[in-house]
């Protein structure tokens, strides 16, 4: 139910979901039925079909095979130490009789959500959940052997008994990951609360009013990314002139989009060319939240 509600919040927004929830099932019958059906579906997947979903639907395992090499650290069984596997016998010196540390209890297989035997090597179905590591460690504790028969290790670590090495590939992946994290953090830090797009209405050049002033018609689209409704107004910052809204102010609700149109009115004496760059300030209250530069057309002086 929690997953389903989170998914619905992603689709309809948190506030809308809250209202639907408060309204109760009778006010949103279709939504309620969909919620029950998908909750049942999720429950079925997690409780009864996790193995099938892991092996046949989820693409993670298939991607994993492409990215691995002998130095890749994965959940691995230490066959050098574990083989020859043989059942546990009390007070037996296993090393002396050629037996390894694996007592073939199959606990690592029983706990595996995808039903694989990690002792057969890394397999496509492994989702690195580490349940087999925990199961084997608890068995090792009980028979008085060191932990780590199943552990995070690379094929090279186990086969050649080499210690962990920070390889060139790991360095490269870490570098790419750090770069992506840097880009993500930068994007989050410079993310603005608003986004305004102002475009001259296509197909119209300019209009000349009776008082000699020149006007251009602009279309404006605003995105409010905050959780509060906003009062917005526009001012012409450069050159001197006026802005006249068409059809009233823009109503910008929380997390919403507002659209509108306005005329920019400029004295032609202030224009030297047919096309002049103008600056429009977007204000919320007394705060200038954005400055948009765009073109203004007029007669050539």
Q: Which residues bind ligand SF4 (CB under 6 A)?
A: 75, 77, 82, 102-108, 111-114, 116, 118-119, 126-132, 135-136, 139, 149-150
Q: What angle separates helix 29-47 from helix 2-12, to the nearest 10 degrees?
A: 130
Q: Are strands 194-200 and 214-224 parallel, antiparallel or unpaired?
A: antiparallel
Instruction: Closer to ligand SF4 by CB, 132 or 266: give it.
Output: 132
Angle at 39 between CA 34 and CA 45, to 5 degrees: 130
Decide whether 131 or 230 has the Cβ nearer to ligand SF4: 131
Nearer to ligand SF4, 103 or 282 (CB): 103
Q: Could you tell me the smallest distance in angstroms from the CB atom of residue 102 to ligand SF4?
A: 3
Task: Name the residue nearer to ligand SF4 (CB basis): 102 or 214.
Answer: 102
CA distances from 135 to 149, 175, 195, 236 (A): 10, 34, 53, 70
Cα 156 to chain centroid distance, Å, stands at 34
Minimum CB–partner distance for residue 157 and ligand SF4 (Å): 16
Instruction: Give the nearest distance from C-beta 101 to ligand SF4 in angstroms.
Output: 7
What is the rounded CA–CA span in Å between residue 41 and residue 4?
A: 10
Distance CA 116, CA 45 (A): 19
Instruction: Tokens 């693409």: give the residue.
Output: 59
Nearer CB in complex with ligand SF4: 145/221: 145
Q: Please check whether residue 241 is in contact with residue 294, taking contact to mean a CB–CB distance below 8 angstroms.
A: no
For 54, which DSSP code?
I
* CB 176, min distance to ligand SF4, A: 25
- Check if the beta carbon of residue 135 is closer than 8 Å to that of residue 111: yes
**246: which 2 tokens?**
């068409």
CB 150, min distance to ligand SF4, A? 5
Question: What does the DSSP assignment read for 185-198?
Answer: HHHHHT--SEEEEE
Of 151 and 236, CB closest to ligand SF4: 151
Q: How far is the CB of 85 from ligand SF4 (least distance, A)?
A: 6
Among 124, 122, 118, which Cα is nearest to 136's? 118
Least distance (Å) from ligand SF4 to the CB of residue 91?
18
Q: Which is nearer to ligand SF4, 5 or 106 (CB)?
A: 106
């Amino acid at each position: 139910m929690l997953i389903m509600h989170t998914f619905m919040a992603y689709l309809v927004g948190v506030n809308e979901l809250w209202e639907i929830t408060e309204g109760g099932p009778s006010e949103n019958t279709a939504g309620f039925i969909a919620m029950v059906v998908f909750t049942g579906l999720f429950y079925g997947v997690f409780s009864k079909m996790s193995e099938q979903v892991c092996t046949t639907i989820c693409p993670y395992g298939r991607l994993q095979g492409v990215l691995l090499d002998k130095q890749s650290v994965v959940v691995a069984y230490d066959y050098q130490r574990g083989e020859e596997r043989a059942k546990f016998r009390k007070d037996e010196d296993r090393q002396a009789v050629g037996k390894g540390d694996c007592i073939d209890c199959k606990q690592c297989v029983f706990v595996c959500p995808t039903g694989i035997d990690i002792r057969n090597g890394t397999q496509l179905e492994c989702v690195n959940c580490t349940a087999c590591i925990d199961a084997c460690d608890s068995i090792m504790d009980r028979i008085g052997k060191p932990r780590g028969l199943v552990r995070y290790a690379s094929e090279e670590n186990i086969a050649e008994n080499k210690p962990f090495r920070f390889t060139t590939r790991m360095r490269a992946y870490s570098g790419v990951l750090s770069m992506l994290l840097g880009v993500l953090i930068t994007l989050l830090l410079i993310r603005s609360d608003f986004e305004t797009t102002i475009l001259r209405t296509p197909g119209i050049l300019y209009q000349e009013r009776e008082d000699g002033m020149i006007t251009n018609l602009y279309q404006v689209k605003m995105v409010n990314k905050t959780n509060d409704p906003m009062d917005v107004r526009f001012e012409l910052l450069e050159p001197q002139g006026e802005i006249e809204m068409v059809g009233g102010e823009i109503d910008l609700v929380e997390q919403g989009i507002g659209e509108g149109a306005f005329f920019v009115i400029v004295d032609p004496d202030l224009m030297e060319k047919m096309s002049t760059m103008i600056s429009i300030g977007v204000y919320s209250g007394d705060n200038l939240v954005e400055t948009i530069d765009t073109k203004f057309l007029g007669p050539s002086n």
